A and B are shown apart, each in its own frame.
Chain A
Amino acid sequence: MLQNFFSYILQGVSITIAVTLVALPAGLALGLGLALVNTYGGPWLKRLSAAYSLLMRGVPPVVLLFILYFILSGNVVNLTPFWAGSVSLGIISSAYQMEILRGALLSISGGQMTAARAIGMSRWQAIRNIILPQALRIAIPPWSNEASIVLKDSSLVYALGVPEILRRAQQLSATTQQPMLAFGAAALIYFVLVFLVNRGLDTLAEKTKLPTQAA
Protein backbone atom coordinates (compact mmCIF):
# COMPACT_ATOMS: atom_id res chain seq x y z
CA MET A 1 0.00 0.00 0.00
CA LEU A 2 2.66 2.46 1.06
CA GLN A 3 4.72 1.41 -1.92
CA ASN A 4 1.85 2.08 -4.30
CA PHE A 5 1.42 5.49 -2.77
CA PHE A 6 4.98 6.38 -3.39
CA SER A 7 5.27 4.99 -6.87
CA TYR A 8 2.11 6.83 -7.96
CA ILE A 9 3.37 10.15 -6.61
CA LEU A 10 6.90 9.54 -7.87
CA GLN A 11 5.57 9.47 -11.41
CA GLY A 12 4.94 13.19 -10.93
CA VAL A 13 8.59 13.88 -10.10
CA SER A 14 9.62 14.01 -13.74
CA ILE A 15 7.00 16.68 -14.41
CA THR A 16 8.04 18.67 -11.35
CA ILE A 17 11.62 18.50 -12.56
CA ALA A 18 10.60 19.40 -16.11
CA VAL A 19 8.70 22.49 -14.91
CA THR A 20 11.72 23.52 -12.84
CA LEU A 21 14.12 22.89 -15.71
CA VAL A 22 12.09 25.21 -17.93
CA ALA A 23 11.39 27.92 -15.35
CA LEU A 24 14.81 28.14 -13.71
CA PRO A 25 17.05 28.43 -16.81
CA ALA A 26 14.50 30.70 -18.55
CA GLY A 27 14.47 32.88 -15.44
CA LEU A 28 18.27 32.83 -15.37
CA ALA A 29 18.66 33.86 -19.00
CA LEU A 30 16.07 36.61 -18.70
CA GLY A 31 17.25 37.66 -15.24
CA LEU A 32 20.88 37.87 -16.37
CA GLY A 33 19.97 39.98 -19.37
CA LEU A 34 17.90 42.27 -17.17
CA ALA A 35 20.63 42.51 -14.53
CA LEU A 36 23.22 43.49 -17.16
CA VAL A 37 20.88 46.03 -18.72
CA ASN A 38 20.05 47.44 -15.31
CA THR A 39 23.69 47.69 -14.25
CA TYR A 40 25.36 48.81 -17.47
CA GLY A 41 22.49 50.19 -19.58
CA GLY A 42 21.35 53.75 -20.10
CA PRO A 43 18.84 55.51 -17.85
CA TRP A 44 15.80 54.30 -19.82
CA LEU A 45 16.85 50.68 -19.84
CA LYS A 46 17.55 50.97 -16.11
CA ARG A 47 14.07 52.32 -15.45
CA LEU A 48 12.40 49.76 -17.66
CA SER A 49 14.14 46.78 -16.08
CA ALA A 50 13.51 48.15 -12.58
CA ALA A 51 9.81 48.51 -13.39
CA TYR A 52 9.69 44.95 -14.70
CA SER A 53 11.31 43.67 -11.53
CA LEU A 54 8.95 45.64 -9.31
CA LEU A 55 5.88 44.42 -11.19
CA MET A 56 6.85 40.76 -11.38
CA ARG A 57 7.90 40.56 -7.76
CA GLY A 58 4.59 42.13 -6.78
CA VAL A 59 2.35 39.53 -8.45
CA PRO A 60 1.74 36.12 -6.83
CA PRO A 61 2.98 33.38 -9.16
CA VAL A 62 -0.41 31.67 -9.23
CA VAL A 63 -2.12 34.89 -10.36
CA LEU A 64 0.30 35.28 -13.28
CA LEU A 65 -0.23 31.62 -14.07
CA PHE A 66 -4.01 32.16 -14.30
CA ILE A 67 -3.55 35.29 -16.40
CA LEU A 68 -1.32 33.43 -18.81
CA TYR A 69 -3.52 30.35 -19.02
CA PHE A 70 -7.10 31.61 -18.72
CA ILE A 71 -6.79 35.02 -20.36
CA LEU A 72 -3.93 34.93 -22.84
CA SER A 73 -3.85 31.29 -23.83
CA GLY A 74 -6.26 30.63 -26.66
CA ASN A 75 -6.66 34.32 -27.43
CA VAL A 76 -3.13 35.56 -27.87
CA VAL A 77 -0.91 32.49 -27.70
CA ASN A 78 -1.59 28.81 -27.53
CA LEU A 79 -0.20 27.33 -24.35
CA THR A 80 -0.72 23.96 -22.75
CA PRO A 81 -1.13 23.99 -18.96
CA PHE A 82 2.43 22.72 -18.63
CA TRP A 83 3.91 25.56 -20.67
CA ALA A 84 1.65 28.24 -19.21
CA GLY A 85 2.75 27.14 -15.74
CA SER A 86 6.45 26.82 -16.52
CA VAL A 87 6.63 30.11 -18.38
CA SER A 88 4.87 32.11 -15.67
CA LEU A 89 7.12 30.63 -13.00
CA GLY A 90 10.09 31.51 -15.19
CA ILE A 91 8.91 35.10 -15.58
CA ILE A 92 8.38 35.60 -11.85
CA SER A 93 11.73 33.98 -11.11
CA SER A 94 13.52 36.16 -13.67
CA ALA A 95 12.69 39.21 -11.56
CA TYR A 96 14.19 37.63 -8.45
CA GLN A 97 17.19 36.29 -10.33
CA MET A 98 17.71 39.74 -11.81
CA GLU A 99 17.95 41.20 -8.31
CA ILE A 100 20.35 38.45 -7.18
CA LEU A 101 22.63 38.97 -10.18
CA ARG A 102 22.39 42.75 -10.01
CA GLY A 103 23.61 42.63 -6.42
CA ALA A 104 26.46 40.35 -7.46
CA LEU A 105 27.46 42.59 -10.37
CA LEU A 106 27.44 45.67 -8.15
CA SER A 107 29.62 43.93 -5.58
CA ILE A 108 32.49 43.65 -8.09
CA SER A 109 34.67 46.72 -7.59
CA GLY A 110 34.78 49.26 -10.40
CA GLY A 111 38.53 48.80 -10.60
CA GLN A 112 38.07 45.44 -12.30
CA MET A 113 36.33 47.17 -15.20
CA THR A 114 38.98 49.91 -15.27
CA ALA A 115 41.80 47.36 -15.39
CA ALA A 116 40.06 45.37 -18.12
CA ARG A 117 39.50 48.49 -20.23
CA ALA A 118 43.13 49.50 -19.64
CA ILE A 119 44.42 46.40 -21.46
CA GLY A 120 42.19 47.22 -24.39
CA MET A 121 39.06 45.20 -23.68
CA SER A 122 35.76 46.59 -24.87
CA ARG A 123 33.00 47.01 -22.30
CA TRP A 124 31.35 43.81 -23.38
CA GLN A 125 34.64 41.84 -23.36
CA ALA A 126 35.29 43.13 -19.85
CA ILE A 127 31.83 42.15 -18.66
CA ARG A 128 32.09 38.69 -20.19
CA ASN A 129 35.66 37.81 -19.28
CA ILE A 130 36.26 39.71 -16.08
CA ILE A 131 33.07 40.86 -14.35
CA LEU A 132 30.68 37.95 -14.93
CA PRO A 133 33.00 35.10 -13.88
CA GLN A 134 33.45 36.88 -10.55
CA ALA A 135 29.83 37.96 -10.14
CA LEU A 136 28.41 34.52 -10.93
CA ARG A 137 30.57 32.96 -8.23
CA ILE A 138 29.20 35.39 -5.68
CA ALA A 139 25.66 34.74 -6.88
CA ILE A 140 25.67 30.97 -6.33
CA PRO A 141 24.52 30.90 -2.66
CA PRO A 142 21.56 33.30 -3.12
CA TRP A 143 20.79 31.63 -6.43
CA SER A 144 20.64 28.27 -4.70
CA ASN A 145 17.92 29.74 -2.51
CA GLU A 146 15.98 30.88 -5.57
CA ALA A 147 16.40 27.47 -7.21
CA SER A 148 14.72 25.74 -4.27
CA ILE A 149 11.92 28.33 -4.30
CA VAL A 150 11.23 27.67 -7.99
CA LEU A 151 11.36 23.93 -7.39
CA LYS A 152 8.76 24.21 -4.65
CA ASP A 153 6.67 26.75 -6.54
CA SER A 154 6.43 24.29 -9.42
CA SER A 155 3.70 22.73 -7.28
CA LEU A 156 1.50 25.68 -8.27
CA VAL A 157 0.96 24.28 -11.77
CA TYR A 158 -1.23 21.74 -10.02
CA ALA A 159 -3.92 24.45 -10.15
CA LEU A 160 -4.06 23.90 -13.93
CA GLY A 161 -4.33 20.12 -13.56
CA VAL A 162 -0.74 19.29 -14.55
CA PRO A 163 -0.09 15.86 -12.97
CA GLU A 164 3.01 16.71 -10.98
CA ILE A 165 3.76 15.65 -7.41
CA LEU A 166 1.15 17.72 -5.58
CA ARG A 167 -1.62 17.01 -8.10
CA ARG A 168 -1.04 13.29 -7.74
CA ALA A 169 -0.95 13.50 -3.96
CA GLN A 170 -4.25 15.31 -4.03
CA GLN A 171 -5.80 12.65 -6.28
CA LEU A 172 -4.57 9.91 -3.95
CA SER A 173 -5.88 11.73 -0.94
CA ALA A 174 -9.33 11.97 -2.55
CA THR A 175 -9.51 8.35 -3.71
CA THR A 176 -8.00 6.67 -0.65
CA GLN A 177 -9.15 9.04 2.09
CA GLN A 178 -5.58 9.00 3.39
CA PRO A 179 -4.52 12.68 3.23
CA MET A 180 -1.86 12.22 5.85
CA LEU A 181 -0.04 9.58 3.84
CA ALA A 182 -0.56 11.24 0.49
CA PHE A 183 0.62 14.71 1.42
CA GLY A 184 3.26 13.34 3.75
CA ALA A 185 4.76 11.43 0.84
CA ALA A 186 4.62 14.56 -1.33
CA ALA A 187 6.33 16.62 1.36
CA LEU A 188 9.08 14.04 1.74
CA ILE A 189 9.73 13.95 -2.01
CA TYR A 190 9.91 17.76 -2.23
CA PHE A 191 12.25 17.82 0.72
CA VAL A 192 14.61 15.31 -0.87
CA LEU A 193 14.61 17.20 -4.19
CA VAL A 194 15.32 20.56 -2.54
CA PHE A 195 17.99 18.98 -0.38
CA LEU A 196 19.74 17.51 -3.42
CA VAL A 197 19.61 20.79 -5.34
CA ASN A 198 21.03 22.76 -2.44
CA ARG A 199 23.73 20.21 -1.82
CA GLY A 200 24.68 20.22 -5.50
CA LEU A 201 24.94 23.99 -5.58
CA ASP A 202 26.90 24.07 -2.33
CA THR A 203 29.40 21.75 -3.97
CA LEU A 204 29.56 24.00 -7.01
CA ALA A 205 30.16 27.04 -4.80
CA GLU A 206 32.90 25.19 -2.96
CA LYS A 207 34.54 24.03 -6.19
CA THR A 208 34.56 27.47 -7.79
CA LYS A 209 35.69 29.29 -4.66
CA LEU A 210 38.78 31.39 -5.20
CA PRO A 211 41.79 30.71 -3.01
CA THR A 212 42.61 33.68 -0.83
CA GLN A 213 44.92 32.23 1.78
CA ALA A 214 48.59 32.78 1.22
CA ALA A 215 50.25 29.53 0.23
Chain B
Amino acid sequence: MTQKDPKLLIQPGPQLRQQMTTPVVMRDVWYALTPATLAGIWFFGLGAFLVLLACIAGAVLVEWYFAPEEKRGYFLGDGTAILTGWLLGLTLPPALPLWMAFLGGVVAVGIGKTIWGGMGANIFNPALVGRAFLLATFPIAMTTWTAPGDFFTIPSSLFALPLMTGVVDTVTQASPLGMMKFEHVDTPFIDLLFGNTSGSLGETSGLLLILGGLYLWWRRDLDWRIPVGILGTAIIFSLILFMVDADKYPGPIFTVFSGGMLLGAIFMATDPVTSPLTQKGTWIFAIGIGLLVVLIRVFGGFPEGMMYAILLMNAATPLIDMYTQPRVFGRELDQK
Protein backbone atom coordinates (compact mmCIF):
# COMPACT_ATOMS: atom_id res chain seq x y z
CA MET B 1 0.00 0.00 0.00
CA THR B 2 1.51 3.33 -1.00
CA GLN B 3 1.37 6.20 1.41
CA LYS B 4 0.97 9.71 0.14
CA ASP B 5 3.04 11.16 2.90
CA PRO B 6 5.36 8.46 4.24
CA LYS B 7 6.50 9.00 7.80
CA LEU B 8 9.69 7.10 7.13
CA LEU B 9 11.59 7.36 3.87
CA ILE B 10 14.69 5.21 3.47
CA GLN B 11 16.67 5.66 0.29
CA PRO B 12 20.06 3.99 0.36
CA GLY B 13 21.88 3.94 -2.97
CA PRO B 14 20.41 4.10 -6.45
CA GLN B 15 17.17 2.21 -6.56
CA LEU B 16 15.11 0.76 -9.33
CA ARG B 17 11.42 1.39 -8.97
CA GLN B 18 9.49 -1.88 -9.10
CA GLN B 19 7.23 -1.81 -12.12
CA MET B 20 5.12 -4.77 -11.10
CA THR B 21 2.35 -3.47 -8.89
CA THR B 22 -1.00 -5.12 -8.36
CA PRO B 23 -2.91 -2.77 -10.69
CA VAL B 24 -0.33 -3.32 -13.43
CA VAL B 25 -0.54 -7.12 -13.13
CA MET B 26 -4.33 -7.03 -13.01
CA ARG B 27 -4.49 -4.94 -16.16
CA ASP B 28 -2.16 -7.39 -17.90
CA VAL B 29 -4.56 -10.17 -17.00
CA TRP B 30 -7.42 -8.09 -18.44
CA TYR B 31 -5.56 -7.77 -21.73
CA ALA B 32 -4.74 -11.48 -21.73
CA LEU B 33 -8.38 -12.39 -21.15
CA THR B 34 -9.74 -10.05 -23.82
CA PRO B 35 -9.28 -12.30 -26.91
CA ALA B 36 -10.93 -15.34 -25.33
CA THR B 37 -13.72 -13.12 -23.96
CA LEU B 38 -14.37 -11.54 -27.35
CA ALA B 39 -14.47 -15.01 -28.89
CA GLY B 40 -17.01 -16.10 -26.28
CA ILE B 41 -19.20 -13.07 -27.01
CA TRP B 42 -18.82 -13.68 -30.75
CA PHE B 43 -19.96 -17.29 -30.46
CA PHE B 44 -22.68 -16.93 -27.85
CA GLY B 45 -23.95 -13.48 -28.78
CA LEU B 46 -24.60 -10.28 -26.87
CA GLY B 47 -26.28 -12.25 -24.07
CA ALA B 48 -22.88 -13.55 -23.01
CA PHE B 49 -21.67 -9.97 -22.70
CA LEU B 50 -24.62 -9.16 -20.44
CA VAL B 51 -23.86 -12.16 -18.22
CA LEU B 52 -20.28 -10.93 -17.88
CA LEU B 53 -21.44 -7.42 -17.02
CA ALA B 54 -23.83 -8.75 -14.37
CA CYS B 55 -21.02 -10.73 -12.70
CA ILE B 56 -18.68 -7.75 -12.74
CA ALA B 57 -21.43 -5.49 -11.39
CA GLY B 58 -22.08 -7.86 -8.46
CA ALA B 59 -18.40 -8.19 -7.65
CA VAL B 60 -17.65 -4.47 -7.85
CA LEU B 61 -20.71 -3.52 -5.83
CA VAL B 62 -19.70 -5.74 -2.90
CA GLU B 63 -16.09 -4.58 -3.05
CA TRP B 64 -17.27 -0.96 -3.00
CA TYR B 65 -19.80 -1.50 -0.23
CA PHE B 66 -17.44 -3.27 2.19
CA ALA B 67 -14.38 -1.14 1.51
CA PRO B 68 -13.52 1.52 4.12
CA GLU B 69 -15.11 4.73 2.94
CA GLU B 70 -11.90 6.70 2.52
CA LYS B 71 -10.16 3.88 0.64
CA ARG B 72 -12.87 2.96 -1.83
CA GLY B 73 -11.01 4.41 -4.81
CA TYR B 74 -7.95 2.39 -3.93
CA PHE B 75 -9.86 -0.85 -3.38
CA LEU B 76 -11.61 -0.59 -6.72
CA GLY B 77 -8.65 0.92 -8.56
CA ASP B 78 -6.47 -2.16 -8.27
CA GLY B 79 -8.86 -3.96 -10.59
CA THR B 80 -9.11 -7.20 -8.63
CA ALA B 81 -12.87 -7.01 -8.14
CA ILE B 82 -13.46 -6.46 -11.83
CA LEU B 83 -11.12 -9.35 -12.62
CA THR B 84 -12.89 -11.64 -10.16
CA GLY B 85 -16.27 -10.85 -11.70
CA TRP B 86 -14.85 -11.23 -15.18
CA LEU B 87 -13.28 -14.63 -14.46
CA LEU B 88 -16.47 -15.81 -12.82
CA GLY B 89 -18.45 -14.70 -15.84
CA LEU B 90 -16.18 -16.68 -18.14
CA THR B 91 -17.00 -19.89 -16.26
CA LEU B 92 -20.79 -19.48 -16.47
CA PRO B 93 -23.16 -20.87 -19.07
CA PRO B 94 -24.14 -18.15 -21.56
CA ALA B 95 -27.89 -18.45 -20.97
CA LEU B 96 -27.73 -18.04 -17.19
CA PRO B 97 -30.33 -15.57 -15.86
CA LEU B 98 -28.66 -12.24 -15.09
CA TRP B 99 -29.79 -12.18 -11.47
CA MET B 100 -27.97 -15.44 -10.83
CA ALA B 101 -24.82 -14.10 -12.47
CA PHE B 102 -25.09 -10.97 -10.30
CA LEU B 103 -25.56 -13.12 -7.19
CA GLY B 104 -22.51 -15.13 -8.20
CA GLY B 105 -20.44 -11.95 -8.36
CA VAL B 106 -21.72 -10.90 -4.92
CA VAL B 107 -20.84 -14.27 -3.37
CA ALA B 108 -17.47 -14.41 -5.15
CA VAL B 109 -16.20 -11.17 -3.67
CA GLY B 110 -18.29 -11.20 -0.47
CA ILE B 111 -17.76 -14.78 0.72
CA GLY B 112 -14.73 -15.54 -1.44
CA LYS B 113 -12.64 -12.53 -0.55
CA THR B 114 -13.96 -9.76 1.71
CA ILE B 115 -14.86 -12.05 4.62
CA TRP B 116 -11.28 -13.33 4.81
CA GLY B 117 -9.91 -9.82 5.10
CA GLY B 118 -9.76 -8.60 1.52
CA MET B 119 -7.21 -9.02 -1.21
CA GLY B 120 -4.33 -11.31 -0.37
CA ALA B 121 -6.00 -12.89 2.65
CA ASN B 122 -8.38 -15.30 0.96
CA ILE B 123 -7.71 -19.04 0.95
CA PHE B 124 -9.81 -19.94 -2.08
CA ASN B 125 -9.93 -18.43 -5.53
CA PRO B 126 -12.85 -15.95 -5.24
CA ALA B 127 -14.20 -16.48 -8.75
CA LEU B 128 -14.35 -20.22 -8.19
CA VAL B 129 -16.03 -19.77 -4.81
CA GLY B 130 -18.74 -17.83 -6.65
CA ARG B 131 -19.03 -20.55 -9.26
CA ALA B 132 -19.12 -23.36 -6.68
CA PHE B 133 -21.92 -21.54 -4.85
CA LEU B 134 -23.90 -21.08 -8.06
CA LEU B 135 -23.40 -24.70 -9.09
CA ALA B 136 -24.60 -26.00 -5.72
CA THR B 137 -27.49 -23.52 -5.63
CA PHE B 138 -28.81 -23.70 -9.18
CA PRO B 139 -27.66 -27.09 -10.48
CA ILE B 140 -30.02 -27.11 -13.46
CA ALA B 141 -29.47 -23.56 -14.70
CA MET B 142 -25.71 -23.97 -14.26
CA THR B 143 -25.56 -27.03 -16.51
CA THR B 144 -27.89 -25.88 -19.27
CA TRP B 145 -25.52 -25.24 -22.15
CA THR B 146 -26.64 -23.44 -25.26
CA ALA B 147 -25.22 -24.02 -28.72
CA PRO B 148 -23.30 -21.13 -30.26
CA GLY B 149 -25.85 -19.10 -32.15
CA ASP B 150 -26.74 -15.82 -33.75
CA PHE B 151 -24.83 -12.81 -32.45
CA PHE B 152 -27.83 -10.57 -31.86
CA THR B 153 -30.19 -13.15 -30.37
CA ILE B 154 -30.32 -12.75 -26.61
CA PRO B 155 -31.81 -15.76 -24.79
CA SER B 156 -34.93 -14.64 -22.92
CA SER B 157 -33.81 -16.70 -19.91
CA LEU B 158 -31.35 -13.89 -19.19
CA PHE B 159 -34.13 -11.54 -18.18
CA ALA B 160 -35.87 -13.84 -15.73
CA LEU B 161 -37.02 -11.85 -12.70
CA PRO B 162 -35.00 -12.35 -9.53
CA LEU B 163 -35.80 -15.68 -7.80
CA MET B 164 -37.55 -16.96 -10.93
CA THR B 165 -36.50 -19.70 -13.31
CA GLY B 166 -35.17 -18.66 -16.68
CA VAL B 167 -36.82 -20.48 -19.57
CA VAL B 168 -34.15 -21.23 -22.14
CA ASP B 169 -35.60 -20.61 -25.60
CA THR B 170 -32.45 -21.07 -27.67
CA VAL B 171 -30.98 -24.34 -28.87
CA THR B 172 -29.51 -26.30 -25.99
CA GLN B 173 -26.69 -28.72 -26.51
CA ALA B 174 -24.62 -30.84 -24.16
CA SER B 175 -21.09 -29.57 -23.62
CA PRO B 176 -18.25 -31.59 -25.19
CA LEU B 177 -17.39 -32.97 -21.75
CA GLY B 178 -20.96 -34.03 -21.09
CA MET B 179 -21.21 -35.67 -24.48
CA MET B 180 -17.98 -37.53 -23.84
CA LYS B 181 -18.96 -38.64 -20.37
CA PHE B 182 -22.56 -39.64 -20.91
CA GLU B 183 -22.74 -40.49 -24.62
CA HIS B 184 -19.13 -41.16 -25.61
CA VAL B 185 -19.32 -38.72 -28.49
CA ASP B 186 -16.10 -36.98 -29.45
CA THR B 187 -16.05 -33.31 -30.53
CA PRO B 188 -13.90 -32.33 -33.53
CA PHE B 189 -10.56 -30.90 -32.44
CA ILE B 190 -10.90 -27.86 -34.68
CA ASP B 191 -14.06 -26.80 -32.83
CA LEU B 192 -12.38 -27.22 -29.46
CA LEU B 193 -9.41 -25.19 -30.66
CA PHE B 194 -11.40 -22.18 -31.85
CA GLY B 195 -14.28 -22.44 -29.45
CA ASN B 196 -17.24 -23.20 -31.69
CA THR B 197 -18.77 -25.60 -29.13
CA SER B 198 -21.23 -25.29 -26.30
CA GLY B 199 -19.81 -24.66 -22.86
CA SER B 200 -19.09 -21.89 -20.42
CA LEU B 201 -18.83 -18.61 -22.24
CA GLY B 202 -15.11 -18.06 -21.94
CA GLU B 203 -13.68 -21.54 -21.81
CA THR B 204 -14.40 -22.84 -25.28
CA SER B 205 -11.63 -21.26 -27.32
CA GLY B 206 -8.44 -23.14 -26.45
CA LEU B 207 -6.22 -21.29 -28.87
CA LEU B 208 -7.04 -17.79 -27.60
CA LEU B 209 -6.68 -18.86 -23.96
CA ILE B 210 -3.20 -20.18 -24.73
CA LEU B 211 -2.38 -16.90 -26.49
CA GLY B 212 -3.44 -15.01 -23.36
CA GLY B 213 -1.31 -17.32 -21.25
CA LEU B 214 1.73 -16.73 -23.47
CA TYR B 215 1.25 -12.98 -23.14
CA LEU B 216 1.15 -13.26 -19.35
CA TRP B 217 4.24 -15.48 -19.41
CA TRP B 218 6.05 -12.97 -21.59
CA ARG B 219 5.07 -10.17 -19.21
CA ARG B 220 6.24 -12.38 -16.30
CA ASP B 221 2.88 -12.07 -14.55
CA LEU B 222 2.43 -15.78 -14.45
CA ASP B 223 4.32 -18.68 -12.94
CA TRP B 224 4.78 -20.94 -15.97
CA ARG B 225 5.23 -23.96 -13.70
CA ILE B 226 1.54 -24.05 -12.77
CA PRO B 227 -0.03 -24.34 -16.25
CA VAL B 228 2.81 -26.55 -17.47
CA GLY B 229 2.51 -28.79 -14.42
CA ILE B 230 -1.28 -29.05 -14.62
CA LEU B 231 -1.43 -29.66 -18.36
CA GLY B 232 1.58 -32.01 -18.32
CA THR B 233 0.12 -34.14 -15.54
CA ALA B 234 -3.29 -34.21 -17.16
CA ILE B 235 -1.77 -35.21 -20.52
CA ILE B 236 0.34 -38.01 -19.03
CA PHE B 237 -2.47 -39.33 -16.84
CA SER B 238 -5.08 -39.28 -19.59
CA LEU B 239 -2.58 -40.79 -22.05
CA ILE B 240 -2.06 -43.74 -19.72
CA LEU B 241 -5.83 -44.19 -19.38
CA PHE B 242 -6.24 -43.77 -23.14
CA MET B 243 -3.71 -46.48 -23.82
CA VAL B 244 -5.42 -48.81 -21.37
CA ASP B 245 -8.81 -48.48 -23.05
CA ALA B 246 -9.12 -46.06 -25.94
CA ASP B 247 -12.86 -46.62 -26.30
CA LYS B 248 -13.71 -45.78 -22.75
CA TYR B 249 -11.43 -42.89 -21.84
CA PRO B 250 -10.92 -39.58 -23.69
CA GLY B 251 -7.52 -38.89 -25.22
CA PRO B 252 -5.05 -36.31 -23.91
CA ILE B 253 -5.82 -33.72 -26.59
CA PHE B 254 -9.50 -33.78 -25.77
CA THR B 255 -8.67 -33.62 -22.07
CA VAL B 256 -6.63 -30.46 -22.47
CA PHE B 257 -8.86 -28.57 -24.89
CA SER B 258 -12.28 -29.40 -23.45
CA GLY B 259 -14.09 -27.75 -20.56
CA GLY B 260 -12.40 -25.32 -18.23
CA MET B 261 -9.00 -27.00 -18.34
CA LEU B 262 -7.10 -24.20 -20.10
CA LEU B 263 -9.02 -21.33 -18.49
CA GLY B 264 -8.44 -22.84 -15.05
CA ALA B 265 -4.82 -23.82 -15.59
CA ILE B 266 -3.78 -20.47 -17.05
CA PHE B 267 -5.95 -17.90 -15.29
CA MET B 268 -7.32 -19.41 -12.08
CA ALA B 269 -4.78 -21.81 -10.63
CA THR B 270 -2.08 -19.18 -11.16
CA ASP B 271 -3.72 -16.70 -8.78
CA PRO B 272 -0.67 -15.66 -6.70
CA VAL B 273 -2.75 -15.37 -3.52
CA THR B 274 -4.01 -18.94 -3.49
CA SER B 275 -1.05 -20.83 -4.97
CA PRO B 276 2.13 -21.88 -3.12
CA LEU B 277 5.09 -19.56 -2.79
CA THR B 278 8.01 -21.91 -3.39
CA GLN B 279 9.00 -23.50 -6.69
CA LYS B 280 8.84 -27.01 -5.27
CA GLY B 281 5.44 -26.27 -3.74
CA THR B 282 4.21 -24.89 -7.04
CA TRP B 283 5.04 -28.15 -8.80
CA ILE B 284 3.22 -30.19 -6.12
CA PHE B 285 0.23 -27.84 -6.42
CA ALA B 286 0.12 -28.09 -10.22
CA ILE B 287 0.55 -31.87 -10.35
CA GLY B 288 -2.15 -32.25 -7.71
CA ILE B 289 -4.60 -30.23 -9.80
CA GLY B 290 -3.76 -32.18 -12.95
CA LEU B 291 -4.33 -35.52 -11.23
CA LEU B 292 -7.54 -34.41 -9.53
CA VAL B 293 -9.06 -33.02 -12.74
CA VAL B 294 -8.62 -36.24 -14.65
CA LEU B 295 -9.73 -38.30 -11.65
CA ILE B 296 -12.95 -36.31 -11.22
CA ARG B 297 -13.68 -36.16 -14.94
CA VAL B 298 -13.10 -39.86 -15.59
CA PHE B 299 -14.19 -41.54 -12.37
CA GLY B 300 -16.32 -38.90 -10.62
CA GLY B 301 -19.97 -38.01 -10.98
CA PHE B 302 -19.44 -34.64 -12.67
CA PRO B 303 -18.34 -34.23 -16.27
CA GLU B 304 -16.07 -31.32 -15.28
CA GLY B 305 -13.61 -31.30 -12.38
CA MET B 306 -11.43 -28.23 -12.89
CA MET B 307 -13.23 -26.07 -10.36
CA TYR B 308 -13.15 -28.62 -7.54
CA ALA B 309 -9.56 -29.61 -8.36
CA ILE B 310 -8.38 -26.01 -8.00
CA LEU B 311 -10.43 -25.36 -4.87
CA LEU B 312 -9.11 -28.54 -3.22
CA MET B 313 -5.52 -27.66 -4.00
CA ASN B 314 -6.18 -24.09 -2.78
CA ALA B 315 -7.12 -25.66 0.54
CA ALA B 316 -3.86 -27.63 0.53
CA THR B 317 -1.74 -24.59 -0.28
CA PRO B 318 -0.91 -23.50 3.31
CA LEU B 319 0.18 -27.07 4.06
CA ILE B 320 2.33 -27.24 0.92
CA ASP B 321 3.90 -23.92 1.83
CA MET B 322 4.70 -25.19 5.30
CA TYR B 323 6.46 -28.32 4.07
CA THR B 324 8.36 -26.77 1.18
CA GLN B 325 9.93 -23.86 3.02
CA PRO B 326 13.50 -23.62 1.85
CA ARG B 327 16.42 -23.84 4.26
CA VAL B 328 17.50 -20.50 5.65
CA PHE B 329 20.91 -19.77 4.14
CA GLY B 330 23.73 -20.89 6.39
CA ARG B 331 21.56 -23.02 8.63
CA GLU B 332 20.93 -26.71 8.99
CA LEU B 333 17.61 -28.01 7.76
CA ASP B 334 16.15 -29.02 11.12
CA GLN B 335 17.06 -25.73 12.79
CA LYS B 336 14.23 -23.32 12.66
Q: Do A and B come from one complex?
A: no
